[in-house]
Structures are given as structure tokens and as C-alpha cells.
A and B are shown apart, each in its own frame.
Chain A
Amino acid sequence: MAELTLNYAQGDAATRADALAGPAGPKPRRALSRRNIFIYGTLIVVSMYYLLPLYVMIVTSLKGMPEIRMGNIFSPPVEITFEPWVKAWAQACTGLNCEGLSRGFWNSVRITVPSVVLSIAIASINGYALANWRFKGADIFFTILIFGAFIPYQVMLYPIVILLREMGLYGGLYGLILVHSIFGMPILTLLFRNYFTSLPEELFKAARVDGAGFWGIYFKIMLPMSLPIFVVAIILQVTGIWNDFLFGVVYTRPDYYPMTVQLNNIVNSVQGVKEYNVNMAATLLTGLVPLVVYFVSGKLFVRGIAAGAVKG
């Protein structure tokens, strides 16, 4: 290392002057580089494909029928009217009755709220038992449960009809609530199990040393630490159950049809003149609950689907 000179501190005056002329600071980037045009251009075009249906729904639902027949579906309403919304809510006909969507809305509320509570309660306790109180055979049931999430529902549709009929719950709200709790179980149990497993095990051990039991640890230690995962589960379940169609149509009588089923019956009803504006208002109304949940929850929604899906 003898030839190694360690002190260039002052440098060579010539090199320094030379050098200062060269590039300095950040590499200049044009805001409209080809790269940026490509990236943002693509994203904006794709965004339009995604936003178009929402736009069309809103615009159509605010027009009168004559205007719809005259103009095109993309043009904004000349004369804004809320009459289609009122009609969709209170008067639209399904072929059976003309009470509008309101009945379906309240049915959906009466189905969704208890289903969400019940399914989350069951799944969180399941997940907790699986994560912290492993017992013999637990993994087998869990594996079956996860496999169950992928089995086409159609395979289990009729056996459940028989079970519900035996229990006297077929056709009513309680039967459907039970069905939602059952089919929510795989994904929610997985979600909670993974979450509880990720909590430090020492916490659980410390609580046991302190003499807390199964329920004590669940209610006093685990629950207070799990608020975020409960919110994720609620988001997942509210949107999932609200959007369900198949179970609603199979397991309830027309009186108890949830909103999605009623919406489909209104829009695809073959009787009468098609009122596209009312149809779109009804469609928007049905989509409103999950949309609000989505826009309010933002990142948590993403976290929910990522947690539920990737780790599966």
C-alpha cells in the first residue's frame, strides 16, 4: 500500500475546475418522458374502463326515460331527476309485488348484521383455539375447512336444504344466517388463526403462568389486541354477505329475499316496459353499501383481501 496516497484533500486545481463543469445534482428528468407518458397513459386509459360503468350507472339513474330513448348512455343528464331513485326504492315491481327495493334492503340488513356478528364470533374463537390451544386432530379439521372454501357451493346446496328443513329453518332468515356463518368460517378462521399466530407467543405463555384460562386469555388479552383484524373481518363479511345471491335465492322465501335477489327480479322482470333509469338507480342502491364500506375502509379492505388470499 506504499504507493497509496491518502491525501487528495486539496486536489488538483485543474481537475476541480474541469469537473465542476460536468453533470451535477440529480439527473434531469423530463416530466413528459416517454416512460411517464406510457405509464400514466396506460393507467388513465384503464381507469376509464373501470370508471365507465359507475359513471353510466349514475348518469342513467338521473335521467328521465324520454331522455334515455333520445340520447346516448354516456351523455350527462340534461335534466336531473331523482324520480328513478324514489321509484326504485319504493315502487319498482319484481313480478310478485311492487314494493321496490326497500323490502330487500331491510331483509339484507336483517341478514347481514347477525351473520357478520355470528360468523366473526365463531371464527375468531376457532382461530384462537387453533393458534394457541392446539389439540390433537385440530389440524385435520382445519385442513378440511380450508378445502371446503374451494369446493363449489353447488355440491353442498341440497344437503343443507335438507338440514335446514329438519331444523325448521328453511326459507326464513335464521337459516340463511346460519348458512352465511358456515360458509364464512373457512376464510375467517384462516384470517384469525394467522393473526393470532403472529402475536408473540410469550404473551400467551405469560398469561397462562398468571393463571388465566381459555376464555380469560381470549377476552382479556387477545380481543383487545385484535381490533384491526376484526375490522378487516367485518369488511370482508359485510361486503361478502351483502353481495351474496345464490344462498339468498336458494334458502329464503320471496318474502325474505335479500336485496341482490330482489334487484335481479326487478331488472330482469319480463313484465311491463323496461325502465332503464329505475333499473340503474336500483343497481346503484344495491351497490351502495359495499361501495361505502370500500371507500371508507380503503387500505384495510386491501389488507383484508391480501390477508385472506395470499396466505391461503
Chain B
Amino acid sequence: MEEARRPNQLFRNLNAKFAAIPMVLTALVVFVGGTIWTIVYSFTDSRLLPRENFVGLAQYERLWSSSKWLISIQNLFIYGVCLLIFSLVIGFILAALLDQKIRFENTFRTIFLYPFALSFIVTGLVWQWILNPQFGIEGVVRSWGWTSFSFDPLYNADIVIYGILIAAVWQSTGLIMCLMLAGLRGIDEDIWKAARVDGIPMWKTYLFIVIPMMRPVFITTLVIIASGIVRVYDLVVAQTGGGPGIASEVPAKYVYDAMFLSQNLGQGFAGSTMMLLSVLIVLIPWAYLEFGGKKRG
């Protein structure tokens, strides 16, 4: 009870610190510790089990000369760029349409958002079935008499990533629409009135006034989509399993396969470190803009 006179800094808010132990452990041990551990071991020649035999950048050299990894990166790039564009454009247009004081707004929103409640596994399996060349869209169109019709993305190595994209857009656009709608509803209504008094057509108001005003919403959405893109895994596993051949491999799957299927931990660590790097490239400028900028006024 001596401390009662002049409380020790360490024991102030003791309960709060006690309560924060899980958070501190998670942050330090799992997030920081785990990440550093993986980066460090990516410089070893670990195979079935991690071991401390450092081989410099050998794992990375091997990674970037592996055709499976190169295809993964290429797929991720196509998938990422297309998903960003499609989900932002479609998401924004849907949000703008829903924002026109329309009837049945709730119904439409419920319809656009329900896929987001479903897992990527379910999404992948449904679209695998719809895109089935024998019974799915291709089969149906052919049965109407257009026998040369061809739409079999999941069985065509050249376009398989677009098949996955269709499913991804279906699953995730609802979320983007909701974020955009929240952003639109946050725009001062007087701005719309002022634009109407100024006689500015609606599309111009969106393009030159509202969208620039929603920049923070767009940036946040971008970060959310981007961090989801890098993680894409379940969808590919369910929809194509990486096939045909290795045509629809993605980095996350490469890492999993290396770690848990082909006993090649070092490759897995190197691959996941590259994934981390790509996220940081998006994340650091964003965090700087979002938080660093504010502090400096």
C-alpha cells in the first residue's frame, strides 16, 4: 500500500493492462513475431521442417524461376487489376442507382449483398457448376441451336482466370456497393442542391464534384479490395483447383502447396514474404496518407 502515495507508472491502470494482454500477445508474438520468423526462415533451405541453414536469396531465385510462381503472379495481376476496376465501377454505379430515392431500395440492396455472406468455397462451387461446359451456360446456349458457341473459361487455360473473376465480382461487388452507398449518403445534401441551382447535369455532378469528394472512401475501399486480392485462395481451390494444369494458380495457393503438400517450407516462406511485400507496397502509402498526413495538419 506504500504505492498509494506516489503510484508507480507501471501499476497505474493495472486492470486495463491486464485486460490488454491478449491484444499485446497477439500483436507482438503472432503478428510481429510470426512475420519476422517467416521472413528470416525464407532465407534458409528448410524443407519438411524449418532449419537454420541460411542460403541467402536462393529460395527467391528458385521462386522467380519457377513457372508455377510466375503464372501465379501473372494471374494475380490480371485478377487484381480487373477485380479492382470491375468492382469499383460496378459497385459505384449500383450505389449511385440505389441513391436515386428509388422504390425497393432495400430489396435490391439485399440481392446485391447476399453473395458476400457466402464463403468463397460456396461461390467457387456454384460458378464451377454454372460454367460447366456440358450442362452450364455453354451447354444451354448450344442446345438452343448455336452449336459453335463456346464459353468454357474453367477448361481453357487462356481464360480460366476470367472465369474466377466472374465469381469474384459476383461475391464481392455487393460489399463495394455498400461502402460506396455509405459514402454517397455522407455527402452533404446541400452540395446536390447547389449543383442543381447551378444547372449542372447529374452525371457531371457525380464526375466532377461527388467522386472527388469521396476520395477517402475510394482509397479505403481500394485498400480493402487490394488486401483481399492478395489473399485469394479458397475461390481458386474450389472453382478450379489451380487447373487446368497450373493455369489458374495464385500466390496464396503456391505458398500453401509448398508448405503443406510438397514439403518445401523454404519456398512457402519466400512466396509468403513476397505476398507481404506486395501488400506493404499498397499499405504503407495509404497509412501515410490516412494517418501520417492528418498529424501534420
B150 CB–A CB distance under 8 Å: no
B245 at interface by CB-CB < 8 Å: no
Contact B34–A159 (Cβ < 8 Å)? yes
- Give the residues in chain B near A62, CB-CB below 8 Å: none
| A273-311 interface (Cβ within 8 A of B) | 276, 279-280, 283, 286-287, 290-291, 293-295, 298, 301-302, 305-306, 309-310
Partner pick for A279 among B19, B129, B269, CB 8 A cutoff: B129
Q: Which of A126, A250, A267 contacts B260 (CB 8 A)?
A: A250
With beta carbons under 8 angstroms apart, the residue of B136, B178, B269 that contacts A302 is B178
Residue from B41, B50, B121, B233 with most neighbouring chain A CB atoms (10 Å):
B121
Q: Pick from B21-29, B51-59, B62-70 the stretch touching chain A.
A: B21-29
Q: Among A49, A51, A150, A185, which residue has its beta carbon within 8 angstroms of that of B26?
A: A185
The CA-CA distance from A309 to B176 in the complex, in Å, is 10
| Residue pair B224, A309 in contact (C-beta under 8 Å) | yes
Q: In the complex, A52 Cα to B130 Cα: how many Å? A: 9
From known contacts A73-B140, A154-B272, A290-B119, infer whether A136 and B35 are also in contact, taking CB-CB under 8 Å. no
| Contacts between the two chains (Cβ within 8 Å), count | 266
Instruction: Check if A50 is an interface residue, CB within 8 A of chain B.
Output: yes
Let me know if A309 and B179 touch, CB within 8 A: yes
B108–A47 contact, CB under 8 A? Answer: yes
Closest A-chain residue to B221, C-beta based?
A309
Judge whether B118 and A287 touch: CB under 8 Å. yes
Of A54, A56, A306, which is within 8 A of B178 by CB? A306
Q: How far is the CB of B285 from chain A (nearest CB, A)?
A: 13
- The size class of the interface chain B forms with chain A is 35 or more
Task: Check B275 against A152 for contact (C-beta < 8 Å).
Answer: yes
**Stretch touching chain A among B8-16, B79-87, B193-201:** B8-16
A43 within 8 A of B: yes
Residues of chain B within 8 A of A309, CB atoms compared: 175, 179, 220-221, 224
- Provide the residues of chain B in CB contact with A152, threshold 8 Å: 227, 230-231, 252, 272, 275-276, 279
- CB of A135 within 8 A of CB of B17, answer yes
Within 8 A of B (CB), among A48-83: 49-54, 56-57, 60, 68-69, 72-74
- Of B20, B130, B259, which is within 8 A of A138 by CB? B20
Given contacts A245-B234, A305-B116, A310-B217, contact A57 B16 (CB under 8 A): no
B70 to chain A, nearest CB (A): 18
The answer to the question of A209 belonging to the interface, with a C-beta cut-off of 8 Å to chain B, is: no
A155 contacts B9, C-beta separation under 8 Å? no
Interface assignment of A153: CB less than 8 Å from any CB of chain B = yes
A156 vs B27: C-alpha distance when bound (angstroms): 12
Closest to A50 in B: B111
Asked whether B20 lies within 8 Å of A141 as measured between CB atoms, the reply is yes
A4 located at the interface, meaning its Cβ lies under 8 Å from any Cβ of chain B in the complex: no
Contacts of A49 in B (CB 8 A): 170
The answer to whether B182 touches A310 (Cβ under 8 A) is yes
A160 interface residue per 8 A CB criterion: yes
**Interface membership of B47, Cβ < 8 A:** no
Q: Please pick, from A182, A185, A264, the residue contacting B121 in the complex, using a CB distance under 8 A.
A: A264
Q: What chain B residues lie within 8 Å of A42 (beta carbons)?
A: 93, 97
Contact of B119 with A245 in the complex, beta carbons under 8 Å: yes
Q: Does B100 contact A (CB under 8 A)?
A: yes
Complex interface: chain B residues within 8 A of A122 (CB): 22-23
Residue of A nearest to B238 (CB): A264
Complex contact B16–A129 (CB within 8 A): yes
CB distance from A258 to the nearest CB of B (A): 10
List B contacts of A156 (CB < 8 A). Answer: 30-31, 34-35, 38
Q: Which residues in B have their C-beta under 8 angstroms from that of A267? A: 125, 128, 238
- If A152-B252, A156-B30, A246-B234 touch, whether A283 touches B122 (CB-CB below 8 Å) is yes
In the complex the two chains form, what is the Cα distance from A263 to B265 in whole Å? 27
User: How far, in angstroms, from A98 to B132 measured CA to CA in the complex?
Assistant: 25
Residues in A neighbouring B221, C-beta threshold 8 A: 309
Q: Flag if B28 contacts A144 (CB, 8 Å).
A: yes
**B153 in the interface (beta carbon within 8 A):** no
B288 at the interface (CB under 8 A from A): no
- Interfacial chain B residues near A276, Cβ < 8 Å: 129, 132, 135
Q: Which residues of B contact A (CB under 8 A)?
A: 9, 12-13, 15-17, 19-20, 22-24, 26-35, 37-39, 41, 50, 90, 93-94, 97-98, 100, 102, 106, 108-123, 125-130, 132, 135-136, 139-140, 143, 170, 174-175, 178-179, 182-183, 217, 220-221, 223-224, 227, 230-231, 233-234, 237-238, 241, 251-252, 255-256, 259-260, 265, 268-269, 271-273, 275-276, 279, 283, 287
Besides A68-B135, A129-B17, A147-B31, 6 new A-B residue pairs in contact (Cβ under 8 A), listed by A number: A141-B20, A155-B272, A182-B30, A291-B114, A302-B113, A310-B217
Q: 7 pairs across A/B with beta carbons < 8 Å? A: A142-B23, A152-B231, A152-B276, A160-B34, A309-B175, A309-B179, A309-B221
